[in-house]
Amino acid sequence: MKRRPLPSAGSDAGLPASDPASPAPRPTPPVIRRRRAGATGDSSPAAPARLAPGLRARRVALEVLLRVDRERAFADVLLGHRLGEFAPADRRLVTQLVLGTIAWRGRLDFELARLSARKLEILSPDVLALLRLGLYQLRMLTRIPPHAAVDTAVTVAREGPGGAGAARFVNAILRAAIRAPIGLPSRSADELEFLTVAYSHPRWLVERFVEWFGVADAEALMAADNEAAPNVLRLNLARGPHDELAALIERDGMRIARRGCFPETIVLAGAPIFDSPTYRDGVFQPQAEASQLVARLLAPAAGSTVADCAAAPGGKSTHLAELVGVAGTVLALDLNLAGLRNARATAARLGHRNVLFARADCASALPLRPQSVGYVMLDAPCTGLGTLREHPEIRWRLQPDDFARMAALQSRMLENAAALVRPAGALVYAVCSLAPHEGPDVIRNFLARHRDFEIDPNPPESIGEILDRDGFMRTRPDRGGLDGFFAARLIRRFDIPATAR
């Protein structure tokens, strides 16, 4: 998945908080936070004046949740079109409500199924989404009073197609949730079921995580999946030195929490402002830290030519354009025409004129002379399993056979990308997935077929310390707070005769 991270703030029970000054996130505890039974406040709907600000945020959150389910859309894209309607505090609230409700859907449904006499599958989509939205606030957001969570859900339900009947049903379920919270499954009776509910991941995916990483690491990973992702920016150092650009960003109202792993990397304490002069002037580009590591792993020399074989939406292409400098060239290839247009717009905003864009299917032979490029990047399409913090809907859409299906596509693309690499040239293969099928298995199978390639025994000095004993870059949100990425830097050997390849 190559998507821009959403604005997010601190953490409240493992999700973005509405207070931008809240402390850093902590791992989500495996017990639902419960409020004191009976602390419900006034059971009658509140006056419209008191509810007006929160109602609008919840109406928009409901609309986005319904479209995510109905259209299989991505929440970050839909939110990107709506957040401009709100003040900064309400932007954080809407983002929090949408991403939190999606992330915790499994845990919320576990409780709703035990509170409702009706099966969840027969409820209308708007009623089920409202129940999830309301229960998420009751269980996970300590800053929202229970009566406000219930009353706003009831008011929005009354406005919907179910009218008064839907409102009464939503009111009854949510008030029952306040009176009698449902506990988690017994860990000793069924550990996998406990992990499934406690950390809100599909059971089949929990089983895979345990198989790949063991119980303790799987639990830490799933807790991290439910945390807020950091807001990371890549400074466009072609516009000026780090300190000057950072000062401009802070002048635009964004607060910098810390420097990142490279001179061009900073992490914000709050949300980026995309309608700011610094964004429009190309001072920064939102890009996750692990994604920036991938371009740094390729480490193209100044003035060199780079082929980016799956370039949309342009984050890595523009990073590579900065690394090679004005004397270098980046060939940005992608089959997705709309994605290429977005990448071209990003390059124009950042002022990079050394990026050439061409539509090409990297799953087929590429329209470039074989062994003609010194540096090749393949950030391949993948399941996005390493980006569940930004894209929680992925966990509910993935199917067990998706890993093998994507690995087959990735292997074809790797074959074609590798054909472009000249002798002694470098190739970086990367995916934002934690699945072994999409990462190390693809590389090992490729190397078994191509004796003229090998893992680079002398990786770039700036990146070498993050590589594991196999020479692979593997990041995880529970280990250093980076998205889950896999990357490998290969070089084409020039001492292998063609007949031995």
- Taking only the tens place, the pLDDT of each residue in 13-28 is 333 333 322 333 333 3
Neighbours of 162 (CB within 10 A): 18
Residue the block writes with tokens 């807790």: 223
pLDDT score, position 496: 62
Q: Tell me which amino acid residue 159 is.
A: E
Can you identify the CATH homologous superfamily of domain 289-500? Vaccinia Virus protein VP39 (3.40.50.150)
In SS3 terms, 123-174 reads as CCHHHHHHHHHHHHHHHHCCCCCHHHHHHHHHHHHHHCCCHHHHHHHHHHHH
Q: Is the pLDDT of residue 85 over 90?
A: no
**CA-CA distance, 351 to 369, in Å (whole number)?**
28
Question: Do 462 and 299 meet the contact criterion of CB atoms below 8 Å apart?
Answer: yes
**CA-CA distance, 320 to 117, in Å (whole number)?**
56
Is 432 among the residues known to form the active site? yes
The residue from 261, 309, 382, 432 that is catalytic is 432
- Which residues sit opposite 428 in a β-bridge? 377, 489
Task: Give the total residue count for the chain.
Answer: 501
Mean pLDDT of 176-199: 96
pLDDT tens-place string over residues 130-157: 999 999 999 999 889 999 999 999 999 9
In SS3 terms, 424-490 reads as EEEEEEEECCCCCCCCHHHHHHHHHHCCCEEECCCCCCCCHHHECCCCEEEEECCECCCCCEEEEEE
CATH 1.10.940.10 holds for 48-179: yes
Give phi and psi for 128, each to the nearest 5. Answer: -65, -40
Return the closest-CA partner of residue 142 out of 10, 235, 48.
Answer: 10
Question: Do 286 and 5 meet the contact criterion of CB atoms below 8 Å apart?
Answer: yes
Return the closest-CA partner of residue 76 out of 283, 286, 280.
Answer: 286
pLDDT score, position 269: 85
Residue 292, token pair as written in the block: 């920036």
| pLDDT band with cut points at 50, 70 and 90 for residue 52 | low
Question: Do 9 and 228 meet the contact criterion of CB atoms below 8 Å apart?
Answer: yes
Q: Is the pLDDT of residue 399 over 60?
A: yes
pLDDT tens-place string over residues 156-180: 999 999 999 999 999 999 999 999 9
- Percent of the chain at pLDDT exceeding 90: 76
Edge to edge, the sheet with strand 284-286 lists: 256-259, 265-268, 231-235, 284-286
| pLDDT band with cut points at 50, 70 and 90 for residue 48 | very low
pLDDT tens-place string over residues 457-473: 999 887 877 899 999 99
pLDDT score, position 22: 31
Domain positions in the chain: 48-179, 191-225, 289-500
Q: Is the pLDDT of residue 232 over 90?
A: yes
**CA-CA distance, 446 to 439, in Å (whole number)?**
11
Question: What's the mean pLDDT when you consider all of the chain?
Answer: 87
pLDDT score, position 121: 95
